[in-house]
């Protein structure tokens, strides 16, 4: 199946400008063109865009993404380096997850502390009862 740039942008979650930018910096191959000269994206293109989006979400720098994109054209010969890039990025993601877990633990501690303070206040506040006749 093929998609015009607007549909490819919609399906990928990227903007049209981002698709053009990725093409300009050679993260993606120039897409095929239709008879009117308009870009035409394939499901394979969308799969690659999804992978690039995941790499970006991990915080991978564009320069590393560009290296990876160039290496993929070398096929099996570049498997070792591509794997190395991903292993290094995984280590960075794991470090970030550990850092975020530490932050989460601090937040959980503070929230639990405030909840205990609120319970203590509720227990100490005078309870108003209606007098029964």
Q: What is the pLDDT of residues 46-75, one digit of tens each?
A: 999 999 999 999 999 999 999 999 999 999
114 pLDDT above the threshold of 80: yes
The model carries a pTM of 0.80
Topology of the domain comprising 2-91: Multidrug-efflux Transporter Regulator; Chain: A; Domain 2 (1.10.1660)
Mean of pLDDT values over 102-109: 98
**pLDDT higher than threshold 60 for residue 128:** no
Do residues 31 and 45 lie in contact, with contact meaning Cβ atoms separated by under 8 Å?
A: yes
Task: Give the integer Cα–Cα distance in Å for 117 and 109.
Answer: 12
Question: What b/e sequence results for 22-37 when a residue is b if at least 16 CB atoms lie within 10 Å of its CB, and e otherwise?
Answer: beeeebbeebeeeeee
């Amino acid at each position: 199946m093929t998609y015009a740039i607007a549909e490819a942008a919609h399906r990928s979650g990227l903007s049209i400008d981002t698709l053009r930018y990725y093409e300009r910096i050679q993260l993606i191959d120039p897409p095929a063109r239709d008879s009117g000269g308009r870009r035409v994206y394939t499901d394979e293109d969308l799969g690659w865009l999804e992978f690039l989006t995941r790499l970006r979400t991990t915080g991978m720098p564009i320069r590393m993404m560009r290296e990876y994109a160039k290496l993929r054209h070398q096929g099996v010969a570049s498997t070792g380096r591509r794997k190395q890039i991903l292993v290094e990025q995984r280590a960075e993601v794991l470090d970030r997850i550990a850092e975020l877990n530490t932050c989460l633990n601090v937040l959980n501690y503070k929230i639990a502390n405030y909840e205990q303070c609120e319970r203590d206040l509720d227990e100490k506040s005078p309870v108003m009862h209606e007098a029964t006749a």
